[in-house]
Amino acid sequence: MIIVAQFMVILDVAIVNVALPVIKSDLGFTQAGLEWIITAYAIVFGGFLLLGGRLADVLGRRRIFIAGIAIFTASSMLCGLSWSAGSLIGFRAVEGLGGALLAPAGLALLMTTFPEGRERNIALGIWGAASGSGAAVGVLLGGVLTSYLSWPWIFFINIPAGLALLVFVPRVLPATPPSESRRHFDLAGATSVTAAVMLLVYGLTNAPRHGWGDPLTFVPLAAAAFLAVAFVLIERHTAAPLLPLRLFRIRTLAVANVLFVIIASVAFSEFFLLTLYLQDVLGYSAVQTGLAFSAIAVTIAVVSNVAQTFVTRFGARRVLTSGLLLVVGSLALLTRLPVDGHYGVDLLPAFMLNGIGLAFCFVPVTIAGLAGVPRPDAGVASGLVNASRQVGGAVGLAVVNTIATSYAVNGSRSSVEAAQLHGYHVAFVVLAGLALAGVALAALFLGPPAEQEQPEAEAFVPEETPLKEAA
């Protein structure tokens, strides 16, 4: 059930993209307003992840998990019933709030149920498969539902799964009591970090459209930096911090979250570029684009189960560096995409290699990011992992979109398609360089948790057995 909820959240990030042109004409969106269907969700989802994780620690993980499912399901229904551009944007923001509550609470439930080692690696392998393949599956479902039903069904599809979870979660998952050691809530820290992440995502989403020097971009980014510094100062002096800075003494956690930013930047960006290539250059329909991405989605889902076994046997560092190198190889193939490309020859090998590489990235980086975390901090650590992925995706999309657009405009090509493709090639090279930086970071600094300084923590006590069955 936890995996279903996570898959539902990740799916919702990608499934909307394919339907945007239809939504634009149906609800009368302007081109600038259309982007807010994505941006409203991303800002609220990213901004409230740390707060959602700490609320799970303070108020009880199952309670926050159920609340998140309820908000997400209800807002999905309202999105499908939207009567105007403004109503859809507002309901998408509420949907992002639901995702920000259920995602860290669900991951924390998995983390506190299974002790570190083989059992947790298996559970996180399945979780990683849902996270890694959800975006690719979203493109496929978005195309099918939009083409053969109508755009509201990209939201209505969440309702049956959400209602089933609301029925069965209270019956199957045992209640998780609130933390006895955390009766105080860090309001100043929660306000500053939530505003910082929201402004960061907002500024990054404005960068491709307005440019990095526009006030709509650099003012939110500067404000986000100021609030981030304020958040660190607040956390250093408060008695019950929202994000205990001592957690970053666990080197694996600190390095893994930086790597998650890199991996998310690469994954989100290449999916975006490949969607543009398939539709704008090759002329694929929405359904054809979704079917093309199924090669990545299926590969990630299958290989993730193997990845968790490799992590148990060889360690997160070796598996993660191997995965990043495979991603670099796939990006190298993508830099050679032609204007008249053929799926079986030019795309499928790169897609398969990419799926294997991403599976070998998502699973070990998640395992490493939660290794050695004290039980009372499971929720906020899970929120941090999710926030790193969200911020990484926003950073990658902003930078890569800017690069691709710039080089497409300035490229000395004769046709529009060739000029666009030149920009994509340059962006793929940049992403390959970023992945290589991740290889170096993982190889040099991602060591076994047992060898690192750990914060003081209470002894690990797994939750009741029924929760393992529910995962």
Cβ(359)–Cβ(304) below 8 Å: yes
What is the rounded CA–CA span in Å between residue 375 and residue 460? 6
pTM here is 0.80
Higher pLDDT, 282 or 122: 282
CB atoms within 10 A of CB 430: 20
Query: Sorting pLDDT into bands at 50, 70 and 90, what band is 428?
Result: very high
Q: What is the pLDDT of residues 123-159, one digit of tens each?
A: 777 776 666 666 667 767 777 787 778 888 888 988 9
Q: What is the CA radius of gyration of the chain?
A: 21
pLDDT on residue 131: 67
Per-residue pLDDT at 451 exceeds 50: no
DSSP state for residue 243 in the 8-state scheme:
S
pLDDT on residue 411: 47
What is the rounded CA–CA span in Å between residue 308 and residue 123? 9
What is the rounded CA–CA span in Å between residue 289 and residue 279? 7
Find which of 62-76, 113-127, 190-204, 376-390 is predicted with most confidence, using mean pLDDT. 62-76
Tell me how far CA of residue 128 lies from CA of 121, 258, 317, 333, 362, in angstroms. Answer: 10, 17, 16, 25, 6
Which range is least confidently modeled, 64-78, 164-178, 340-354? Answer: 164-178
What is the rounded CA–CA span in Å between residue 262 and residue 80? 33
pLDDT on residue 462: 41
Per-residue pLDDT at 179 exceeds 60: no
What is the rounded CA–CA span in Å between residue 179 and residue 32? 44
Q: What is the pLDDT of residues 81-99, one digit of tens each?
A: 988 888 998 999 899 889 8
Average confidence (pLDDT) over 407-420:
62
Residue type for position 213: G
Fold of 2-174+242-454: Growth Hormone; Chain: A; (1.20.1250)
C-alpha angle 165-167-171 in degrees, rounded to nearest 5? 100
Per-residue pLDDT at 72 exceeds 90: yes
Per-residue pLDDT at 470 exceeds 60: no
Cβ(253)–Cβ(365) below 8 Å: no
Identify which of 218, 222, 161, 174 has the alpha carbon closest to the alpha carbon of residue 196. Answer: 222
pLDDT on residue 46: 77
Identify which of 305, 319, 202, 314 has the alpha carbon closest to the alpha carbon of residue 263. Answer: 319
pLDDT on residue 395: 79
Q: Is the dihedral of CA 309, 116, 68, 91 positive or negative?
A: negative
CB atoms within 10 A of CB 245: 11
Cβ(217)–Cβ(211) below 8 Å: yes
Query: Sorting pLDDT into bands at 50, 70 and 90, what band is 71?
Result: very high
Cβ(258)–Cβ(230) below 8 Å: no
In angstroms, the first-to-last Cα distance of the chain is 6
Which range is least confidently modeled, 11-20, 310-319, 378-387? Answer: 11-20
pLDDT on residue 459: 39
pLDDT on residue 413: 45
Which range is least confidently modeled, 121-130, 135-144, 412-421, 455-464? Answer: 455-464
Count CA atoms within 13 Å of residue 266 on its CB side.
Answer: 35
Which range is least confidently modeled, 148-157, 330-339, 392-401? Answer: 392-401
Average confidence (pLDDT) over 303-329:
88
Higher pLDDT, 134 or 365: 365
Higher pLDDT, 258 or 183: 258
What is the rounded CA–CA span in Å between residue 154 and residue 17? 10
Cite the beta strand spans of 73-227 per DSSP E.
none
Identify which of 412, 463, 465 has the alpha carbon closest to the alpha carbon of residue 176. Answer: 463
Q: What is the mean pLDDT of the chain?
A: 80
Which range is least confidently modeled, 80-94, 167-181, 444-458? Answer: 444-458
Higher pLDDT, 453 or 304: 304
Average confidence (pLDDT) over 218-247:
85
Higher pLDDT, 66 or 172: 66
Query: Sorting pLDDT into bands at 50, 70 and 90, what band is 430?
Result: very high
What is the rounded CA–CA span in Å between residue 184 and residue 457? 18
Higher pLDDT, 263 or 287: 263
Q: Which sequence spans correspond to the domains of the chain?
A: 2-174+242-454
